[in-house]
Structure 1
Amino acid sequence: MDVGVALLVQAAVTIPFAVPRAASLPPADWPSYGLTTLGVLPLVWRRRAPVTVLLAVLAAQALYGLAWNGPGQTLPYTALLAVYTVAALSPARRRLPAAALTLVLIFPSVAFNSGEARELLFSLLVFGAAYAFGRLSRIRRDYTAAVEDRAAQLERANRIEAEQATARERARIAREMHDILSHAVSIMIVQAEAGPVAVRTAPERAEAAFDAISETGRDAMVQLRRMLGVLREDGSGGGRAAAEPAPPLHPQPTLAELPGLVERVAAGGVEIGCVTAGRPPAPLSLDTQATVYRVVQEALTNVVRHAAAGSVLIRLEYGPDTLEVTVTDDGRGPGDSTGHGLVGVRERVAAHGGTVTAGPGPGGRGFRLAVRLPLVDSRTEVGR
């Protein structure tokens, strides 16, 4: 690009040598043209050394005016371009002295040429314009770079936020999948193990066990299909047959489904009691209801899988602004409390600003899981 600009300037300064001239004007000889070209040549390096190129151009023009009486130029093209480049590219500590030197040299140059005020004002105007355009170019370039840098930062921030949101969503889905599958599979295993014994001793109980296995499996499939339906972008289920109705897109359970959960687990032979104390001061949000359901589900799943308990007590106690959920069994007592289930419970409860306490039951027997949740009015939640 610099070579192209230099050639363009060379074409401009060649015009006075190519156009026929009056006999009274100075002759357009080859030495004059060569010195003019010598003044244009430094422009090839103008962006590499702006101040040096400006000084070289000013020296060449001074030599041309003093040593040769050749054709003049309509405009000092090379000097104007050099001043523009210095203003656009050089730092202030070099730009300002170079601009001051050029300003000072204008006065003796005009005095040596015509000495007219009109030429002086014109020279000050064009060199000032070249300097101003250079500064505007630099400001525009800096502004563009700042905007691009800001856009890059925003893009990085958005990418990080998207990755964090993806990680949070994966964790949420993992909790849902764990709660659904772990509970369903545990109930099915218990019922399946009890089935052969019941076939020999109490056939009616064997039939109930198999019915419980079937119902639990169907319930798990429905919940999984609901979740997968939500995950699909179109919500249509993708590969389902056209005649098959889409599952409702409401995968989160509510407190109304809690009795069914208790009934399914109790079918395995565990005596389960459910007590509610107090009344909610306002309708519970769907998130809070889903969390209570999952907490109880995880507690009952652990009872079936690990506790070998004969009885379980579920207590829901409503306070003015909190809900305490306590699940206590009389089984083997606390085992490993670092499994994924309790981790998921803590994550769910922490998302609501609640607390979780897990440990031995009353008198050191069994296991007790206690959760305290702040109550959120569902109407307040919708209004936020």
Structure 2
Amino acid sequence: MPPLATAVRARLDKSMPVLREWQGRAGKLVRRVASANPYIVDTAITALVWLALSVQFIVPRPEGLPYGSTTSYFLTCLCALPLVWRRRFPLMVLIATNIPMAINQMIDGVGQPLPYAGLIAAYTVAAVSPLRQRMVMNGLAMVVIPLAVAANSNGAREYLFTFFTYFGAYALGRLQNNRQERALAVEARAEQIELTRKAEADRAVVAERARIARDMHDVLSHAVSIMIVQAEAGPVAVRRDPERAERAFDAIAASGRDAMTQLRRMLGVLKEEEGDAVRVPQPTIGDLDALVAGVSATGPRAELTVTGTPVALDADVQVSLYRIVQEALTNVVKHARASGVAVRLDWRGDVVAVTVVDDGVGPTVGDGRGHGMISFRERVAAHRGRVDFGPGPGGRGFQVNAEFPLAREERVVAG
């Protein structure tokens, strides 16, 4: 690289941080002005225009040129004054700024290098007014500008300059209008996205509360049912079989401890705490053996049979499958008056199915199983599975059948 180019490159590298700093300051100033009270901003603009128009009357003029009269200065000030209301009445302000200018020209008053007030008023109409008012302004411009130039110099140069400045102000106003519309569209979209995100978060909260409510129902219903059965059998067993009574009381204590552990975990999730309750793992299909054994030890005889080749399942599927078995066994203990219940877990390639069948009295009207049936449907529907329930084989007892489809990655045999 040539030495001159290297020097220029080094100088630019040194000046870039300063330029970025000034750019940031300018951006902050623009944002601060844009967020200020519109009347304060417009009053400041009016004052600046008035100062610019007053230069011709304050600065000494070259020899041979007349000084401005008091009437001419008064008319010039009148050109700037309406700008205070430019946003509220843009088209009327445009007309109000041009009338004193025309009168000043008729009396041959001191002119201005640029029609500052008229250009700002034209810019405002283009930026904030509807299409009809903009068309009226452009129609008036096509008539007034040629007449004013013809009354002044009637030269081609002045025609070109006047039309250029007018349409330049109009184009800047339309650009500002488009920028504001884009900004409003972006803000509206961001607001809509935020509302959508909040709605999704609310739906997620409702779904999570429903899930926790189902889990609490299953946990409490199962534990309390076991405790009631054992508590009712305890007094009889104390007199006839003390060892059996002791086992019953142990089962009551174990059910209570298990329920408390799971409730602490659920309440910990609700409170969003990071304690031990949150870290207690959710039940899995590996816990079915203990669940069935607990029922068999304290109530009807229960057996678990597994067929097929087990595969890895998502944690959510395992929790739902476990809770369905738990609720079905709870219903057996509470309502079936059964002597035995069979739980079968069947791996069938594309689905995993679970069946709970008892040999009790079967379904009866008002037997209290309604909430559990709803829970079955909700849990299975969450995983696009299916569930059915009703009388057992030969019309005896009650059975629950639930199937969960396996995702493609779940069909790989668990190592």
User: Do they fold alike, i.e. is TM over 0.5?
Assistant: yes
Secondary structure, counterpart of 1:126 in structure 2:
helix
**Residues 268, 377 of structure 1: alpha-carbon distance in 2 compared, 3 angstrom cutoff:** farther
1:279 and 2:309 equivalent?
A: yes
Q: For residues 311-362 of structure 1, give each alpha carbon's deviation from its aligned partner in whole angstroms, at most 9, with x where no partner exists.
A: 2122223323122222122223214466322222211111111111122223
Shift of residue 293 of structure 1? 1.5
Equivalent position to 1:146, from 172, 185, 194: 185
Equivalent position to 1:328, from 357, 361, 378: 357
Shift of residue 100 of structure 1? 4.0
**Residues 161, 247 of structure 1: alpha-carbon distance in 2 compared, 3 angstrom cutoff:** closer
Equivalent position to 1:12, from 49, 52, 63: 52
Equivalent position to 1:61, from 101, 105, 115: 101
Shift of residue 173 of structure 1? 1.0
Find the counterpart in structure 1 of residue 26 from structure 2: none
Find the counterpart in structure 1 of residue 393 from structure 2: 362
Shift of residue 28 of structure 1? 1.9
Q: For residues 117-154 of structure 1, give each alpha carbon's deviation from its aligned partner in whole angstroms, at most 9, with x where no partner exists.
A: 44333323322221121111111111111111111111
Q: Tell whether the 8 Å contact from 2:361 to 2:396 is kept in structure 1 after alignment.
A: yes
Q: Tell whether the 8 Å contact from 2:300 to 2:338 is kept in structure 1 after alignment.
A: yes
1:258 and 2:288 equivalent?
A: yes
Please give the alpha-carbon distance, in whole angstroms, between the structure 2 residues aligned to 1:223 and 1:279.
Answer: 30
Equivalent position to 1:33, from 69, 73, 76: 73
Find the counterpart in structure 1 of residue 334 from structure 2: 305
Shift of residue 301 of structure 1? 0.5
Please give the alpha-carbon distance, in whole angstroms, between the structure 1 residues aligned to 2:48 and 2:278.
Answer: 72
For 1:262, the aligned partner's letter is V
Q: Tell whether the 8 Å contact from 1:285 to 1:376 is kept in structure 2 after alignment.
A: no
Secondary structure, counterpart of 1:371 in structure 2:
strand
Q: Tell whether the 8 Å contact from 2:312 to 2:411 is kept in structure 1 after alignment.
A: no
Q: Tell whether the 8 Å contact from 1:288 to 1:376 is kept in structure 2 after alignment.
A: no
**Residues 286, 40 of structure 1: alpha-carbon distance in 2 compared, 3 angstrom cutoff:** closer
Moved more, 219-228 or 133-142: 219-228
For 2:327, the aligned partner's letter is E
1:346 and 2:377 equivalent?
A: yes
Find the counterpart in structure 2 of residue 317 from structure 1: 346
Shift of residue 159 of structure 1? 0.9
Q: For residues 19-70 of structure 1, give each alpha carbon's deviation from its aligned partner in whole angstroms, at most 9, with x where no partner exists.
A: 334563234222222222333333233222222222233333222211x122
Shift of residue 232 of structure 1? 5.5
RMSD in angstroms over aligned alpha carbons? 2.4
**Residues 95, 380 of structure 1: alpha-carbon distance in 2 compared, 3 angstrom cutoff:** farther
Q: Tell whether the 8 Å contact from 2:80 to 2:117 is kept in structure 1 after alignment.
A: yes
Find the counterpart in structure 1 of residue 317 from structure 2: 288
Moved more, 308-317 or 330-339: 330-339
Please give the alpha-carbon distance, in whole angstroms, between the structure 2 residues aligned to 1:49 and 1:200.
Answer: 99
Q: Tell whether the 8 Å contact from 1:323 to 1:374 is kept in structure 2 after alignment.
A: yes
**Residues 22, 289 of structure 1: alpha-carbon distance in 2 compared, 3 angstrom cutoff:** closer
For 2:146, the aligned partner's letter is F
Q: For residues 176-233 of structure 1, give each alpha carbon's deviation from its aligned partner in whole angstroms, at most 9, with x where no partner exists.
A: 1111121111111111111111000111100111111122222223333344455554
Q: Tell whether the 8 Å contact from 1:223 to 1:251 is kept in structure 2 after alignment.
A: no
Alignment of 1:153-302 (within 5 A): 153-230=192-269, 233=272, 235=274, 237=275, 246=276, 249-280=279-310, 282-302=311-331
- The aligned length equals 370
Q: For residues 281-315 of structure 1, give each alpha carbon's deviation from its aligned partner in whole angstroms, at most 9, with x where no partner exists.
A: x3333333322221111011111112222221222
Shift of residue 379 of structure 1? 4.7
Shift of residue 87 of structure 1? 0.7
Secondary structure, counterpart of 1:267 in structure 2:
helix
Find the counterpart in structure 1 of residue 406 from structure 2: 375
Please give the alpha-carbon distance, in whole angstroms, between the structure 2 residues aligned to 1:104 and 1:376.
Answer: 76
Equivalent position to 1:107, from 136, 146, 153: 146
Please give the alpha-carbon distance, in whole angstroms, between the structure 1 residues aligned to 2:61 and 2:165.
Answer: 26
Shift of residue 164 of structure 1? 0.3
Please give the alpha-carbon distance, in whole angstroms, between the structure 1 residues aligned to 2:404 and 2:171.
Answer: 66
Find the counterpart in structure 2 of residue 44 from structure 1: 84
Please give the alpha-carbon distance, in whole angstroms, between the structure 2 residues aligned to 1:4 and 1:377.
Answer: 69
Q: Tell whether the 8 Å contact from 1:83 to 1:99 is kept in structure 2 after alignment.
A: no
For 1:291, the aligned partner's letter is S
**Residues 218, 262 of structure 1: alpha-carbon distance in 2 compared, 3 angstrom cutoff:** same
Please give the alpha-carbon distance, in whole angstroms, between the structure 2 residues aligned to 1:318 and 1:380.
Answer: 10
**Residues 320, 21 of structure 1: alpha-carbon distance in 2 compared, 3 angstrom cutoff:** closer
Moved more, 151-160 or 9-18: 9-18
Q: Tell whether the 8 Å contact from 1:183 to 1:301 is kept in structure 2 after alignment.
A: yes
Secondary structure, counterpart of 2:224 in structure 1:
helix
Secondary structure, counterpart of 2:214 in structure 1:
helix
Structure of higher RCO (CA pairs closer than 8 Å, 6+ residues apart): 1
Shift of residue 172 of structure 1? 0.9
Q: Tell whether the 8 Å contact from 1:186 to 1:301 is kept in structure 2 after alignment.
A: yes
